[in-house]
Structure formats: C-alpha cells, structure tokens
Amino acid sequence: MQPGARIGVVSPSYWLESERWDRAAKTFASRGYELVPGDMSQQQDYRFAGAPEQRAAEIMGMFSDPSIDAIICARGGYGANRVAPLLDYDLIRSHPKIFMGFSDITGLLTSLSQRTGLVTFHGPMLSTFGEDALGYNLDTLEAVLSGKADVRIASAPACRARVLRPGKATGALWGGNLSLVNERLGTRDQIDTRGRILLLEEVGEKIHVIDRMLQHLKSCGCLDGIAGLIIGELLEINEGDTPFGKSTDEIVLETCAGTDFPIISNFPCGHGDCQATLPVGHEIELDARSDDPFLCLPTSPVK
C-alpha cells in the first residue's frame, strides 16, 4: 500500500463516533492516504452500524470497487459473526484486497483467509487512530504493507514482549482475540492450528475466564502440533472476588506444559495503545532466542 492509496472504511460491528473518525482521517491524510467512508459509517442501529445485511453489503461494495486499494474496519465490538455468513467469498477471492482489523473482527479475518486463501491483517482500526496516532502503529503498518521482504516487527518501547519459552519457529500466523478464536471452535471456520504460529490476545476478562478458554483450546487439540505461540497484550484482566493464584504468564506455561514450541507474551497487538500489523494466513518467523523477541516476514504478505 503506497501513499495515494484509497482506503475503504467498513463497520462490520459497532459504529464509530464522528470525532474519532475526524482525527483518524487527519492522521491518514498526513501520510498521503485517502479514507473512503462506507455506507454504514454514520449509521446507528442500537449497538450496531446497521442491520447485518447492510453491513455485509458495505464490505462487498468495498471489495467490488476497483478504486479501493485497501479496507480497514472502523472498530470492533460485537456483531461481525452475523455478517460473516452473508459475504460472497467467491467474489472476494476474485477481488483480493488488504482487509484489516482486530478484536471482534478476528472472526472475519479467519473466515476470509480460510475460505478465500487471501492474507488478512490483524492490526489497527480507525478507532485506534481516532485516539493517539502512535508512530509505532503507523510505521509498522506501512512497513508490513509496503511490499518489501524481510520486514522485522519488534515490540514497542512502551510494550516490551517477554520470552516465556525460548526458541525459533516458522509457520503461517493464525488467531487473534482469544474469545473469538474460542467462538469458532466446532464450526467450519475453526482454525487448523497444526504447524501454525498461534496468536492470542484479550481484554476485559476475569483471569479464570482466560484459564478456561485456554483449557478449552487445549482440550480441543488446538495446541497440539503448533509451531509457536504469541500471546499479545492481556489487558484489564482482573481476579474477581477470589484470587486465582497465578499470573497469566504462569497460566499459559501451565497450559502448554509438555510441549516444546517457543512462547512469547505481551507482544504489542490487540487492545493496547501499541498495535502491530500482523498478516493472518501468511508465513512468519518467531525469534525468541534472546530477551528481545521479534517477528520477521521473510516474504511480503501483499505481493
């Protein structure tokens, strides 16, 4: 994606306040990009940006429009699960474009990548840039979408990743929000994690719920045979009424006992201020051999 690109904005879940939209538009304009609002950008249907059929039509319109170079979601929330079954995946496959978001958008990233074979992007949304336009977020986004090979994605100074188990792994990246990955278990869009590098992040849950979802993944076999594990930020995780007795890092290591793949945590992706752009369905390298772990993209995900 080069300066001058036209970026379509869609709202598969909630709607975005006009003030945040205006700030984000200025940020993108400062880098030479044009934001193109979708039909539902200012629609409000209680918690949603219109009916599921309207939100799906907005996405299809952006994929069909030859003047649109990339598509970014306005924000997450809830409701993309009602949109996914209404999309025309054959049409999307024949009109490949960058599609980016996180949180509730995890479900769409998974469905689009698995059903069409296209690479999607777990990364910042318009809501991110409607708050603070951090240089890390913009610089990483542009590097990943530049078309260049051997792009290195380090953690941010304000969000240092931790090595829970050292090592190096190569594999296609899959995953996203932990709740949404769990939501797809037992459906046609359940992620095939074998040989993959799995990404998980979460916000606003009790710590025992994090444990429960990880145990569910484990019991479903989703941690069997994975190449590596990236835990993004786990934010606003609270104990509840009774202390759980373990940190989230300890829960991850306990859940993964008996395996040998590398594990890092607190990588800057998800609901925090620092949000890396990561290619879903594309091969990456996870290097956790030092105290400063990083990811590398040997080939460009937009070629």
- What architecture does CATH give domain 151-297? 3-Layer(bba) Sandwich (3.50)
Q: What's this model's pTM, rounded to 2 decimal places?
A: 0.96
d(CA 271, CA 9): 19
Annotated catalytic residue, options 127, 205, 265, 271: 271
Annotated catalytic residue, options 58, 183, 201, 202: 201
CATH 3.50.30.60 in the chain, residue ranges: 151-297
Annotated catalytic residue, options 103, 127, 155, 179: 103
CATH 3.40.50.10740 in the chain, residue ranges: 6-133
Is 239 annotated as catalytic?
Answer: no
pLDDT in tens, the chain (303 residues): 787 899 999 999 998 888 888 888 888 898 899 999 998 877 888 889 999 999 999 999 999 999 999 999 999 999 999 999 999 999 999 999 999 999 999 999 999 999 999 999 999 999 998 877 688 999 999 999 999 999 999 999 999 999 999 999 999 999 999 999 999 999 999 999 999 999 999 999 999 999 999 999 999 999 999 999 999 999 999 988 888 999 999 999 999 999 999 999 999 999 999 999 999 999 999 999 999 999 999 999 997
Strands 167-177 and 197-203: parallel
Sequence-distant contacts of 184-190: CB under 8 A, at least 24 apart:
184/107, 184/110, 185/216, 185/217, 185/220, 185/222, 186/220, 189/84, 189/107, 189/110, 189/111, 189/114, 189/115
Is 201 annotated as catalytic?
Answer: yes
- Specify the fold of 6-133: Rossmann fold (3.40.50)
Is 103 annotated as catalytic?
Answer: yes
